[in-house]
Chains A and B, each alone.
Chain A
Amino acid sequence: MQAAVVVFPGSNREGDAARALEAAMGRAPAMVWHGDSDLPKVDLIVVPGGFSYGDYLRCGAIAAHSPVLREVKARAKAGVAVMGICNGFQILTEAGLLPGVLLRNAGLGFVCKNIGLKVETSQSLFTSGYSAGQTLSIPVAHHDGNYFADEATLDRLEDKGQVAFRYCNAEGGLSPEANPNGSARNIAGIFNDTKNVLGLMPHPENAVEPLQGSTDGKAMFKGIVEALS
């Protein structure tokens, strides 16, 4: 399996994503600079976290129109697996690969902590390492993670099983207190309708070693590698 991590000016989790991928794949992913439109032929493209282009205009808005993203869009449409983490999720919504948008956190503050994350389905290449309903501890670190879409879109996401993860408490309950940013229906991550694109605000790449306080993200990368190898 081959993977690529896209890097923008202002990305800051690309090294963490590469490290988590390398641990799972046994080889380093290709790092692709934002101005490049020749993306190597890979099975997985990761759009990492950070503050691409300083988050000017709107989070992810400028990155969504960069040369490399045009290529990412074409690959995603052709069925290649694409994973957007945090700023990467914002970029994928701005690029139109995922529905909805990520607004400023309802509490206005930057949220940086481990949160409870409920796996909604194991039926995807991204979540096959988990079982449905499983509760994970994964860190979030964002200012704009408040998932918003109109009610019809939210209903459609639920009906089609496109909700990947929700914020939950330790018991797996979807209480408002467990929601760190005001996201609609506690949504933390979604798939596109063909489930080859995932966007999520939490950072599984920062939960792969005991030193990081949780290793719950490891199974995500392991599952992805198994699904794509």
Chain B
Amino acid sequence: MKARVHITLKNGVLDPQGRAIAHALDGLGFAGVNDVRQGKYIELDLAETDRKAAKTKVEAMCSKLLANTVIENYAIELVD
């Protein structure tokens, strides 16, 4: 089973990289981009076959290492 983890900055946390991307897009002539927030995508290949157990495990991984919950949110998607 695969777990797809999306890690995003919480609202209110400054994202200078997202801002730089927005500036670059503007410079390329892409108008109408109101805001850009940059995040991370992590794909895990798991030996676990039980969805519930996998979810619990990946949640623990996220809160312990993959995300810093002071500044980041995470979303987990499981794919068979």
For residue B33, CB closer than 8 A to chain A, the reply is no
Assess whether A58 is in contact with B68, with CB atoms less than 8 Å apart.
yes
A160-187 near B? 1/0 per residue, CB < 8 Å:
0000000000000000000000100000
**Beyond A58-B68, A61-B68, A65-B65, is A146–B20 a contact (Cβ under 8 Å)?**
no
Cβ-defined contact, A182 with B70, below 8 A: no
Could you say which residues of chain B place their CB within 8 Å of the CB of A149?
70
Given contacts A103-B13, A103-B14, A146-B14, contact A61 B65 (CB under 8 A): yes
Category for how many chain A residues contact B: 20 to 34
Bound-state CA distance A58–B66 (Å) is 9
Contact yes or no, A104 B16, CB < 8 A: yes
Whole-angstrom distance between the Cβ of A208 and the nearest chain B Cβ? 32
User: Smallest distance from the beta carbon of A176 to chain B beta carbons, Å?
Assistant: 14
- The residues of B that contact A108 with a CB separation of less than 8 Å are 16-17, 20
In the bound assembly, the distance between CA atoms of A100 and B71 in angstroms comes to 9
**B residues in contact with A103, CB < 8 Å:** 13-14, 16, 71
Q: Once the chains bind, are B14 and A106 in contact (CB under 8 Å)?
A: yes
Q: Determine how close the nearest CB of chain B comes to the CB of A73; give it in whole angstroms.
A: 14
Please give, as numbers and ranges, the residues of chain B lying within 8 Å of A99 by CB-CB distance.
Answer: 70
- B14 and A182 form a contact (CB under 8 A): yes
- CB-CB under 8 A from A61, the residues of chain B are 65, 68
In the complex, what's the smallest C-beta–C-beta distance from B44 to chain A, in angstroms? 13
A213 contacts B by Cβ under 8 Å: no
Q: Which residue of A57, A100, A106 has the most chain B CB atoms within 10 A of its CB atom?
A: A57
Docked-complex contact B68 and A94, CB < 8 angstroms: yes
The interface centre, meaning the residue of B17, B65, B70 with most chain A CB atoms within 10 A of its CB, is: B70
Selected contact of A101 from candidates B16, B64, B66, B70, CB within 8 Å:
B70
Decide if A105 is an interface residue (CB 8 Å cutoff). yes
From residue B61, how far is it (CB to closest CB) to chain A in Å? 11
Contact digits for A85-109, partner B, Cβ 8 Å, 1 yes 0 no? 0000000001000011101111110
A interface residues (Cβ-Cβ under 8 A, vs B): 57-58, 61-62, 65, 94, 99-101, 103-108, 146, 148-150, 182
User: What are 11 of the A-B contact pairs (CB < 8 Å)?
Assistant: A61-B68, A62-B65, A101-B68, A101-B70, A103-B16, A103-B71, A104-B16, A106-B16, A146-B16, A149-B70, A182-B16
Residues of B that sit less than 8 Å from A by CB: 13-14, 16-17, 20, 64-66, 68, 70-71
Given A61-B68, A103-B71, A106-B16, 12 other A-B residues pairs in contact with their CB atoms under 8 A: A65-B65, A94-B68, A101-B68, A103-B13, A104-B17, A105-B16, A108-B16, A108-B17, A146-B14, A148-B70, A149-B70, A150-B70
The 9 closest A-B pairs by CB, nearest first: A101-B70, A108-B16, A101-B71, A104-B16, A106-B16, A101-B68, A108-B20, A58-B68, A104-B17
